């Protein structure tokens, strides 16, 4: 979704002398030597966001259209010490949708202020325009951000980072830091520098130049020629403005890689790995974000030169994990920075103080506000459903009959009590290798079909990641004979546990999936039979199946509790 570029030709030449003099990005900018800043400015980074190339063929006609039944996002509450001051450019205040745009931005700000406890104030200018701050056309970009970057000597930065540890993430991440400098300096953003206690003041002017006394740490511009939706939920043919705004704010706060731009490392580069114990600071091969020396792959880094090397690896649309920082964005998908999202963890380990435990959740409600703007016609998107519309042929079945069980309970009117359990026992020969690499890249889908071969239940079990808001841990564990998955947060689709165990002879392989709560699909009972359950390895296409023919042991509707219970054929 993004591409790293320099804000001026002078910036690339400036990096080599950043430790000996104050460097500015334009010929007319003023030095900060007299402002009391002890560290030199390395320049300003420019980050451009793009839509995924497989999303649409043509631009939607209107970028400002909103559903007549929706209105601005209303946000309440702040729990952390972090303060983000927003200045709204005339391109926003003069827009017909100004109220919705400002409410969306305030919602993004509330997300960060509820997540981080750093006693600093970050100043950002927000724009909604077809040009960048200097007046250049934005073309096909979704959004663009400028951020101010400082050069801090390696040992000075590392010392402050290790001293700033406030979470278990920090403690783990600090244990993986290099024992010797990998570059002369480290280049944090001005905001990230202050989060670590450095004197790195804002100095960006509204036109993107750097000058002592200019008030901004960063400038975020949404392209007003693009089809954005400023309210939730997202919609087909429209890009989620809140997600896009958070993506650019992450860059201003400090995310981003030096690869292809700087000789000194950015803070994010400290956690770039290609294998346990092996760092990768190049755009060759694969890289992933890890805070424990490469043992756990939290999320892959983008290696596509058309995107930013500090963003996440992105799948085809719709994406299974549409994270905020994915390199390429899809329409009709939304996400936010959270305590356990890759972005939330990454900002934590580069210097921000993540608030662990329950925090007030910003209230985001759609207030009906009719508008007079026309709704654009959605363009065609690449549809890649999580589960196929009907059962897929060729899945592996149990080697012994009546050894695979399915139980589904629907607590009518009390969805938190809904439960699902599928056991695939005495299975066909399956090796551990055939389960793929769920710690890094292999997603799974659990699909249930009724007697008419209609999909009635669909749940994704994503690869990698951290689970557990109060005490984040890797969702997946590598076992001698397979893999275990556990997610107390039940994200994204209500699955709490999954066990994959190899069997090198027929009858030894086992699979078990458990789920519960409101995120589970809620199919109507009784189920038409035969019921078919399939678990798909989304990376290889391999699947495992059990069929439950009539009559079931129990197949009744509620209330109070509807239930399906049976053993496979």
Positive or negative torsion for Cα 209, 215, 218, 222: negative
Contact 172, 134 (CB under 8 A): no
DSSP summary character for residue 503: B
Q: What is the pLDDT of residue 378?
A: 29
Q: Is 289 exposed, middle or buried (0-12, 13-18, 19+ CB in 10 A)?
A: buried
Residues 3, 145 contacting (CB under 8 angstroms): no
Q: What is the pLDDT of residue 500?
A: 97
CA angle 379, 381, 383 (to 5 degrees): 150
State the pairing for strand pair 121-129/83-88: parallel
Written as one string, the DSSP assignment of 192-233 is HHHHTT------B-TTS-B-TT--BSEEEEEETTS-EE-SSS
The overall pTM is greater than 0.75: no
Which two tokens mark 239? 């890009």
Model pLDDT, residue 377:
27
Q: 96: Cβ–Cβ under 8 A, 6 or more apart, which residues?
A: 64, 371, 373
417, two tokens: 């009590």
User: How far apart are the C-alpha atoms of 3 and 47, rounded to whole Å?
Assistant: 6
Per-block mean pLDDT, blocks of 10 residues, the chain (569 long): 28 22 24 47 60 41 28 44 96 96 96 95 97 91 93 96 95 96 96 96 94 94 96 93 96 95 95 96 95 94 90 90 92 92 96 73 34 29 57 90 94 92 94 90 92 93 84 89 93 93 94 95 94 91 92 93 94
Give the Å distances, CA to CA, from 221 to 142, 158, 245.
9, 32, 8
**What is residue 47's predicted lDDT score, i.e. its pLDDT?**
63
Distance CA 564, CA 554 (A): 5
Is 459 exposed, middle or buried (CB count within 10 Å of its CB: 0-12, 13-18, 19+)? buried
Element containing residue 108 per DSSP (H, E): helix 98-115
CA angle in degrees (0–180, nearest 5) for 425-428-432: 90
């Amino acid at each position: 979704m993004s591409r790293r570029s320099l804000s001026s030709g002078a910036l690339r030449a400036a990096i080599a002398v950043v430790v000996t003099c104050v460097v500015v990005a334009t010929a007319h900018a003023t030095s900060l030597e007299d402002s009391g800043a002890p560290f030199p400015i390395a320049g300003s980074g420019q980050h451009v966001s793009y839509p995924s190339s497989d999303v649409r063929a043509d631009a939607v006609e209107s970028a400002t259209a909103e559903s007549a039944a929706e209105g601005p996002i209303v946000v309440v509450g702040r729990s952390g010490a972090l303060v983000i001051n927003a200045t709204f450019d005339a391109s926003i205040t003069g827009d017909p949708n100004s109220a919705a745009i400002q409410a969306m931005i305030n919602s993004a700000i509330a997300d960060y202020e509820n997540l981080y406890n750093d006693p600093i104030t970050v100043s950002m200018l927000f724009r909604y325009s077809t040009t960048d701050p200097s007046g250049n056309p934005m073309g096909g970009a979704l959004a663009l951000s400028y951020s101010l970057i400082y050069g801090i000597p390696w040992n000075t930065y590392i010392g402050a980072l290790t001293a700033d540890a406030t979470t278990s993430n920090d403690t783990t991440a600090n244990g993986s830091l290099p024992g010797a400098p990998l570059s002369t300096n480290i280049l944090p953003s001005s905001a990230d520098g202050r989060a670590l206690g450095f004197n790195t003041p804002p100095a960006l002017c509204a036109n993107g130049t750097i000058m002592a006394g200019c008030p901004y740490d960063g400038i975020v511009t949404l392209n007003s020629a693009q089809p954005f939706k400023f309210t939730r939920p997202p919609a087909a043919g429209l890009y989620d403005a809140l997600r896009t705004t958070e993506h650019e704010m992450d860059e201003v706060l400090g995310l981003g890689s030096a690869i292809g731009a700087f000789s000194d490392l950015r803070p994010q580069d400290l956690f770039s790995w290609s294998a346990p114990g092996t760092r990768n600071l190049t755009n060759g091969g694969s890289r992933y974000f890890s805070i424990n020396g490469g043992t756990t792959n939290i999320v892959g880094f983008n290696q596509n030169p058309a995107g930013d090397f500090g963003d996440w690896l992105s799948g085809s649309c719709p994406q299974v994990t549409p994270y905020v920082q994915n390199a390429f964005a899809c329409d009709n998908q939304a996400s936010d920075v959270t305590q356990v999202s890759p972005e939330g963890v990454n900002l934590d380990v580069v210097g921000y103080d993540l608030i662990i435990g329950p925090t007030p959740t910003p209230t985001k409600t759609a207030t009906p506000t009719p508008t007079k703007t026309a709704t654009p016609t959605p363009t065609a998107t690449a549809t890649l459903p999580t589960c196929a519309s009907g059962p897929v042929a060729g899945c592996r079945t149990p080697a012994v009959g009546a050894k695979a069980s399915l139980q589904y309970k629907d607590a009518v009117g009390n969805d938190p009590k809904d439960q699902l359990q599928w056991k695939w026992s005495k299975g066909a020969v399956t090796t551990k290798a055939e389960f793929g690499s769920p710690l890094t890249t292999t997603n799974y889908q659990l699909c249930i079909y009724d007697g008419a071969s209609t999909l009635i239940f669909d749940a994704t079990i994503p690869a990698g990641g951290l689970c557990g808001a109060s005490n984040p841990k890797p969702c997946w564990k590598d076992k001698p004979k397979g893999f275990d998955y556990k997610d107390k947060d039940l994200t994204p689709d209500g699955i709490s546990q999954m066990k994959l165990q190899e069997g090198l002879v027929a009858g030894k392989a086992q699979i078990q999936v458990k789920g519960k709560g409101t995120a589970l699909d809620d199919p109507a009972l009784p189920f038409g039979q035969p019921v078919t359950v399939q678990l798909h390895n989304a990376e290889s296409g391999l699947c495992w199946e059990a069929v439950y023919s009539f009559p079931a042991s129990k197949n009744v509707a509620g209330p109070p509790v509807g239930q399906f219970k049976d053993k496979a054929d």
